[in-house]
Amino acid sequence: MTDHSMICLLAAAVENGEVGFLPLKIIGFASGVVGLIFFLGTAVGMVRFPDFYTRMHAAGKGDTLSTMLMLGGFGLVTMEDFSVGSWLLLIKILAVILFIYLTTPTSSHALMRAAFEDDEMPMTEDDLKKSKRKGKRKK
Amino acid sequence: MKILSLIPIIAIGGLLLWAAQDFPKWGDVESPASKSPVSSHFIGKTGVDTEVPNMVTAVLADYRGFDTMFETVVVFIAGMAVLAILKGSTRGNSRRKDHEVEAEPDLIVTNTVRLIVPVIQIFAFYVLAHGHVSPGGGFQGGVLMGASFILIALSWDLEKAVSRFSIERCMIVAALGIVIYGGIGLLSMMLGGEFLDYAELERVLPVSREMARYHAMLGVEIGVGFTVTAIMFALYANLSSEGSLKQGL
Amino acid sequence: MTEWFAMVMGAGLFVLMIPIIYRIFKGPTGFDRILGVNVIGTKTAVLLVIIGTLYGRVEMFVDFALTYSLLNFVAAIVVSRYLNRTISLKEMEAREKAKGGAKA
């Protein structure tokens, strides 16, 4: 009985971050939060930017970096002990990060090229002035 | 018109959600699925009979082996039917459509695909072979493997992918998958058991009865993976080019 | 602690996906919609890892995340390839209008 309660207490302590690999967890939490901030940038850019190419700029960069940071953070947070299983898990998460690092910019590039060959023209300064004037008139 | 069509969709969706309330709760002991002796038999006996940790794979490939074998045959027949319909359909017509233009393969996309395709294929083998322990198996691994060939066809053009994996070879590989599956079943029948009774394979494999079932399941999954890979690619190649195997999507 | 972190991250991702869904819904061109779908698809890999952390079976859900990001890549390549090899959407619409006009 005492053994069981001891194990429970130890598990609770590890869960609370009192015992174990606190520095790794703190780095993981921090990188997750930084990833969330970058994703906020992506979301704001997707809504606020005026034309497709600028939106793609926000989406391509912010999305790649924030996904990589979040996944890396979770890889560090789930690293409970340094057994073979947890190393395997970290390697798998690193594989997902590598995959996203390769594929997301490539798909952004492919979409950009498809849009450009589909006669979707980037917005020039004159277009921007015109749209601003229109907005003022509406107000 | 769009808003009008939204009304029946919302009505049907609400009806389905309302009907879903009658389902038994998650993990309900009183539900028919938990009460029936079949599920408790599988939960209790799978680990003892076959030493496979993943019950789904054991049920799919061993207890319900007949069903999975004919599922594979259905996949094969679907591929054959598409080939048979599309093979001669465009013989008289000109291949180019009026809305198509020439496009060269993109440098960046092709180089990324060159890096990624081997990784995808290794991952497909992992999913195929690891189906006993984690989610996965023949169908999933075959789909990933077929997706790697489709990716080649998308980033270059269809001729390049077909030159690697021609449609004739696709059909041979697909048939080979079914031959592997049925062959394991026939082998166990010849060794004195019933059709697809893998435990009899212990006479040719140097392992116990339980491990014989384990390894035979892997062989069956490999057969399913062969068929699904080949049929995936053959379906894409034929449907995207309307049977002409030129240029593709 | 870890579970709380996972829950907060999941909620944050969900809230930040709302603007992107707005862009998918409204997007003036089709490319905006595809871009939004692509962003959400990439974030789904993170969401799967979060769900795995909450269920305590990350080693299983990481496989799903890898497969999902692969399929997302294939989808983006399919769309760009199709739009690369066909004439532009505006021209297609113009032709359909011309056809409809001729019939009418």
**Mean of all residue pLDDT scores within chain B:** 85
Task: Name the domain count of chain C.
Answer: 1
- Name the least confident of A52-61, B192-201, C63-72: B192-201
Of A42, A113, A114, the CB nearest to C39: A42
Residue B131, helix vs strand vs coil: coil
Residue numbers of the domain that contains B123: 55-87+105-249
Residue numbers of the domain that contains C65: 2-103
By C-alpha distance, the chain A residue nearest B103 is A117
Q: Residue A91: how many CB atoms within 10 A of its CB?
A: 11
Q: Residue C76: how many CB atoms within 10 A of its CB?
A: 25
DSSP symbols for B34-86: HHSHHHHHHHHHHHHHH--S-HHHHIIIIITHHHHHHHHHHHHHHHHHHHHHH
pLDDT the model gives residue C103: 55
Q: Count how many Cα atoms sit within 13 Å of the Cα of residue B128 in the half-sphere of its side chain.
A: 26
Distance from CA of B167 to the nearest CA of A (A): 28
Distance from CA of A56 to the nearest CA of C (A): 7
Distances (CA, A) of C99 to B1, B97, C88, C102, C103: 22, 16, 17, 5, 6
pLDDT digits (tens, 9 = 90+) for C8-61: 889 999 999 999 999 888 878 888 888 899 999 899 889 999 998 888 888 888
Asked whether residue A135 is domain-assigned, the answer is no
Q: Residue C31: how many CB atoms within 10 A of its CB?
A: 24
Judge whether residue A2 has pLDDT over 50.
no
Contact assignment for B109 to A106 by CB distance below 8 Å: yes
- As given in the structure block, the two tokens for residue A5 are 């309660």
- Cβ contacts below 8 Å, chain A against chain B, sum to 19
Residue numbers of the domain that contains A39: 20-123
Give the Cα separation of B74 and B177 in Å (integer).
Answer: 13
Give the Cα separation of B76 and A72 in Å (integer).
Answer: 42
Query: Is the separation of the CB atoms in B152 and B113 below 8 Å?
Result: yes
DSSP state of B89: T
Of A102, A109, A110, the CB nearest to B115: A102
pLDDT digits (tens, 9 = 90+) for B110-129: 999 999 999 899 999 999 98
pLDDT the model gives residue B97: 62
pLDDT the model gives residue B241: 80
**C70 close contact with A: CB closer than 8 A:** yes
Q: Residue A28 is which amino acid?
A: G
pLDDT the model gives residue B65: 85
Distance from CA of B150 to the nearest CA of C (A): 9
Asked whether residue A138 is domain-assigned, the answer is no
Give the torsion sign (CA, B117, B123, B124, B126).
positive
Q: Rounded mean pLDDT of A10-21?
A: 53
Give the Cα separation of B184 and B182 in Å (integer).
Answer: 5
pLDDT digits (tens, 9 = 90+) for B25-64: 777 778 877 788 888 888 888 878 777 888 888 888 888 8
Q: Rounded mean pLDDT of B158-176?
A: 88
- Residue with the larger pLDDT of the pair A57 and B93: A57
Asked whether residue B7 is domain-assigned, the answer is no
Q: Which residue carries 């769309």 as its tokens? A: C79
Helix, strand, coil abundance in chain B, percent, nearest 5: 70, 0, 30
Give the Cα separation of C41 and C47 in Å (integer).
Answer: 10
Q: Which of A96, A102, A119 to mutate to test the interface with B (most CBs of B within 10 A)?
A: A102
First to last CA, chain C: 68
pLDDT the model gives residue B72: 92
Interface predicted TM-score (ipTM): 0.81
Distance from CA of A91 to the nearest CA of B (A): 13
Q: Which of B104, B134, B158, B246 to mutate to test the interface with C (most CBs of C within 10 A)?
A: B134
DSSP state of B245: -
Task: Name the domain count of chain B.
Answer: 1
Give the Cα separation of C67 and B135 in Å (integer).
Answer: 12
Task: Name the domain count of chain A.
Answer: 1
Asked whether residue B243 is domain-assigned, the answer is yes
Asked whether residue A9 is domain-assigned, the answer is no
Asked whether residue B227 is domain-assigned, the answer is yes
DSSP symbols for A60-99: HHHHHHHHHHHHHHHHHHT--S-SHHHHHHHHHHHHHHHH
- Which residues sit opposite B100 in a β-bridge? C86
Asked whether residue A33 is domain-assigned, the answer is yes
Asked whether residue A4 is domain-assigned, the answer is no
Contact assignment for C45 to A71 by CB distance below 8 Å: yes
Give the Cα separation of B68 and B220 in Å (integer).
Answer: 9
Of C63, C77, C82, the CB nearest to B151: C77
DSSP state of B203: G
